[in-house]
Amino acid sequence: MLFVDGMNGVINHGETLEWLYTLTGSQSRLLVKTSLKLLIVFVEYKESNSPPLIRAVNAVDARRGTRPWSYVMDILHERTACDCELLVFAMTLVNKTLAALPDQDSFYDVTDCLESLEMEDLLLCACPPPPCNQSVWVTSSLYLCFYCHLMDVCVCVCVCVFCKRASCACRLAGDGQIG
């Protein structure tokens, strides 16, 4: 159960979001999972919660001297740890944050940060299709579909979440363009 007063307190207190994002860089897997879950609940609570989360991510990573979203990318780079639930939570946080952004400029700012950390390459190279791990594949494919739909390039093999066609333009083409 969510308490409205508590969520409004988190919304109005950027330091709490910064703290929760900082915890995603912990060595404790349980702490990382819990932090990711709470951040997902925060983003899902209200569509207008994505920008405060992005500000918190930017502030924490600026203080660390790293690119924004580096803690989340560190989680995704640890695929050898075989903690699929952790990978799904990390990708879900990214996807839900992107989906709730109020404008295209914000979307491009976040995806540019993620791409500077090689998100697309990571997902294409390290995310095998089902049945290896369907949850990881689905959340990763969702990001790639968002990306290829808005950037007008094709980088994934998936059923497009936008046009719902099984034979979608979101298919990997030799030149990387939608064809």
Q: Structure tokens of 25? A: 């860089």
Q: Is the pLDDT of residue 28 over 70?
A: yes
- Entry pTM: 0.74
Q: How confident is the model at residue 78 (pLDDT cuts 50, 70, 90)?
A: confident
CA distance 54 to 16: 13
> Mean pLDDT across the stretch 35-52?
94
Domain positions in the chain are 4-117, 127-179
Question: What are the tokens at 125?
Answer: 């190279």
Distance in angstroms (rounded) separating the CA atoms of residues 63 and 86: 25
List, for residues 88-141, the tens digit of each pLDDT value. Answer: 899 899 989 988 888 888 888 998 898 888 887 777 665 554 444 666 666 666
| H helical segments located in 24-170 | 29-45, 50-64, 70-77, 84-99, 104-116, 119-126, 134-151
